[in-house]
Structure 1
Amino acid sequence: MATEIENAGSGPGSSITAAEPIWDRPHRPAWMRLLNGVGGGLRRVGVLRPRLDPELLLAAAQRRAGLADWGDDGFQDGLRALVEAFETQGNTHTFGRLFFREYCVAALTNRLRIQEDLNRHPEILDTPIRRPLFITGLPRSGTTFLHRLMCEDPGGRPLLFWETLAPSPSPRYETRLTDPRIRLARKQVGILNALAPRIRAAHLFDADSPEECNNLFAHGFIAGINGFLFDVPQYVEWMNDQNLLEPYRYLRRQLQLLSWRWPGDPWLLKAPAHLYGLDALLAVFPDACIVQIHRDPLQVLPSLCSLASAVRGISSDQVDLRRLGAEFTEAMARGTEHAIDARASADPARFFDVAYPSLLADPVGTVHAVRHHFGYAYDDELEARMRRWLAENPQHKHGVHRYSLEQFGLDSEVVNRRFARYREWTTQRGF
């Protein structure tokens, strides 16, 4: 076997043994190759690379925002863990370091601005969040598809991509179509597609479309998205030991800020990363309604790894596809096990399970079943909007996303053994 995952449990004793690397060839625009060439030359003659000291990142955000009140400073542990893990890998180029620096400074700047809003308008924290809907499941299992269908609800409150990039100031319903942040988000989408063209066929980012909660968690630096975007295995291990209650409390505060002047009922949210925090999610949102989608891990993993390799290639000089496959096999198996454990002590009425093949076969019927289960309204207008969206967004509209287990050194028998507990759990429930 090309890759063997030993000690399949999710505890500290688990380990991954890999054979020879399988190197990816990340996309490199000409200007990036030139920048990296110049940066590499300067480094060889002793000129320092862009510095990533946490204190410098904090200071840069304060200068950009013109603010200094962080609220509590617990997030700084996550910032330091992320920076240390990024530096430890040592496989980034000049642009990659600049990209990572901007990612951190932007998140810190948002945090300062959010805190300023909460300081000036403490009544924001009285904004109700009633029966929010959370969609989760393994990545690449149809969570985006179902989420965007659910967001056709004219009375619901979707989380839009441009809002996640800049939640402050609190958006207004009246200017939701003309907010200047939409234009800035479109520019960022264009840059992302230029840096990693393969992403577009796998996951369409659109400035004014519904998007995952990931960027909101990133403002607190305890965020699974960081382990997806960057090659930071040390940070991922650190994340496994973190209590997620505070990240979910901070998510709630951000949702209150976003709905303060733009209400909707219910919030329509989604992120595969919620698998790791269902217990914390329900502690903070006790009336939450949670949809979990189930898809065969043998189909999920190569698709996920293909997307991750494209994203990590933005900042990394070396993307080992074999190590990526082993890393995500372990991480995703842990996610399913976290969810199984959390659901064992949770109210079953808070959950609705969806099989991926059923979702594809009857997406409108799936939405109807979800809304009926949780008591959300369903009418002819919603159905007509969903059918129009389906007609305008056929599968593979933006290209075919091609991948295979072999690309990432994955063996189906090994993967099935690592997901044995999840397979047994889903089989018992008829998925």
Structure 2
Amino acid sequence: MWRLFLESQWRLARLGWRAFRPPADGMGRRSLRRGLIMLGVVPGLFAVNLYHWLGLALDEVFFRGYRKVEVRRPLFVVGVPRSGTTFLHGVLAADERTTTFSTWECFFALSVTWRKLWRAVGRIDGVLGRPLGRGADWLARQLAGGFEDTHPVRLDQPEEDFFCLLPPMTCFVLVVLFPDSPDLWRMARLDSEADAGFRRRQIDYYHRAVQRHLFVHGADRRFLSKNASFAGLVGSLSERFPDGRFIVCLREPERALSSQLSTLSDSLRFFGSDADPDRFNRYFVDLFAYYFRNLFDQAERLPDNRIALLNNGEIRAHLAEAVDTTLSRLEIEPADSFAERLQSLAGESRQHRSPHRHQLSDNGLDPEWLADRFADILARHDFGHDRFASHD
């Protein structure tokens, strides 16, 4: 733990240095505006980082029993970004036999210590009519900004657990703030990371985070993870959790990539991380290609009862059948009450229309070049196939 803490402080110091003095050929702008923004962001990250590490350290004193928690048959929802992972995660979280990170836990209570403290505060706040809760929800919506249409943020809703990687400073979402960080880009490809020590320490930390979560919410429940950036970690996760199950959400590479870049564009401009947008886009093209290949490779390597592929169209049009079939294949039995909830969500899914509009030309990407770049991926999988369409 101490080594990871020291590494995180060194990593954060390097990120701060690069934020104020970005490389001349980097993706972060050398501008007064970015410098002023980083004057608030970097000290804030240091404060949040120390807050989390203090809680984790207190766990080792007061709640060390979390280390004895056995993580049984966790379920991981992975896939390339913008492929339906958020929606499917919300659906599966409706099963009362599962437990997953909520937004407030990701940001404020990664440790057992802070979780118990804030839950006590929450009970008092509830008695008073939730003034703190309403204020925190409002603040979360303001901070979400342009993400609200594509990834709504509510403190009590299920959230991506890559935010639990904030203490070691390997949370990939930080690439929007620090696009020139090698550590963040290498984290996205952890399965191929040559430094075995770096890979082991990240997985060790994540394992402890899951144990802490189950220590609070109940070791008898199934842990549910959703993380698009874990598409590059499936191999490492499958080894650490040998009875873990994986649902892989898939979408046509060009559509998923276009949606992701469109989602990130406003944040990149706001933080001054858009000095070289073409280079950033190429990085993401390469990353998406790696994600797809790694997911397909892992699907071929793992037994059928450990991993299942789902096309985005199948999730949206035939949610109930797709989920039932997938859970059966993975030998997961949800609570009896889940069936009724699933049917209700299936109706909502068929009626849903995303307000998010995007196209490849918005990001200067040539469709023919992309088709060639993803040719081997398109040859390995039929993204338009719907196995459940004939069952209507």
TM-score (norm: length of structure 1): 0.74
Question: RMSD in angstroms over aligned alpha carbons?
Answer: 3.3
State the distance in 2 between where 1:121 and 1:246 align: 21
State the distance in 2 between where 1:99 and 1:421 align: 40
State how 1:143-222 maps to structure 2 within 5 Å.
143-166=85-108, 167-168=110-111, 169=113, 171=115, 178=123, 187=135, 190-191=138-139, 193-194=141-142, 197-222=145-170
Match of 1:83 among 11, 16, 24: 16
Structure 2 letter corresponding to 1:232: D
Query: Once the two structures are aligned, what percentage of the paired residues are identical?
Result: 20
State how 1:15-94 maps to structure 2 within 5 Å.
73-87=6-20, 88=22, 89=28, 90-91=30-31, 92-94=34-36
TM superposition shift of 1:98: 1.0
1:142 aligned partner: 84
Change (3 A) 1:339 1:236: same
1:283 aligned partner: 239
State the distance in 1 between where 2:169 and 2:241 align: 21
Structure 1 letter corresponding to 2:263: L
State the distance in 2 between where 1:254 and 1:320 align: 35
State the distance in 1 between where 2:135 and 2:37 align: 18
Q: Is the 8 A contact 1:309 1:319 kept in 2?
A: no
TM superposition shift of 1:359: 0.9
Secondary structure, in 3 states, of the residue corresponding to 1:135?
strand
1:246 aligned partner: 201
State the distance in 1 between where 2:270 and 2:123 align: 31
Structure 1 letter corresponding to 2:164: L
* Deviation by residue 1:335-363 (Cα, 9 ceiling, x = unmatched): 22333444454444310111111111111
State the distance in 2 between where 1:207 and 1:428 align: 33
Q: Is the 8 A contact 1:143 1:271 kept in 2?
A: yes
Structure 1 letter corresponding to 2:215: W
Q: Is the 8 A contact 2:320 2:343 kept in 1?
A: yes
2:329 aligned partner: 373
Change (3 A) 1:274 1:318: closer
Change (3 A) 1:116 1:370: same
* Deviation by residue 1:293-330 (Cα, 9 ceiling, x = unmatched): 11001111111011111233342274655444323212
Structure 2 letter corresponding to 1:414: W
2:282 aligned partner: 326
* Deviation by residue 1:360-385 (Cα, 9 ceiling, x = unmatched): 11112122122211222246521222
Structure 2 letter corresponding to 1:215: F
Q: Is the 8 A contact 1:186 1:206 kept in 2?
A: no
Secondary structure, in 3 states, of the residue corresponding to 2:381?
helix
State how 1:375-390 maps to structure 2 within 5 Å.
375-378=331-334, 380-389=336-345
Q: Is the 8 A contact 2:79 2:295 kept in 1?
A: no
State how 1:303-342 maps to structure 2 within 5 Å.
303-316=259-272, 318=274, 321-342=277-298
2:258 aligned partner: 302
Please, which moves more after superposition, 252-261 or 406-415?
A: 252-261
1:15 aligned partner: none
Please, which moves more after superposition, 140-149 or 270-279?
A: 270-279
Unaligned runs of at least 5 residues, structure 2: 23-27, 387-392
Secondary structure, in 3 states, of the residue corresponding to 1:261?
helix
Please, which moves more after superposition, 116-125 or 126-135?
A: 116-125
TM-score (norm: length of structure 2): 0.81
Q: Is the 8 A contact 2:94 2:341 kept in 1?
A: yes
Q: Is the 8 A contact 2:99 2:223 kept in 1?
A: yes
2:317 aligned partner: 361
State the distance in 1 between where 2:134 and 2:208 align: 26
Match of 1:132 among 50, 71, 74: 74
Q: Is the 8 A contact 1:359 1:366 kept in 2?
A: yes
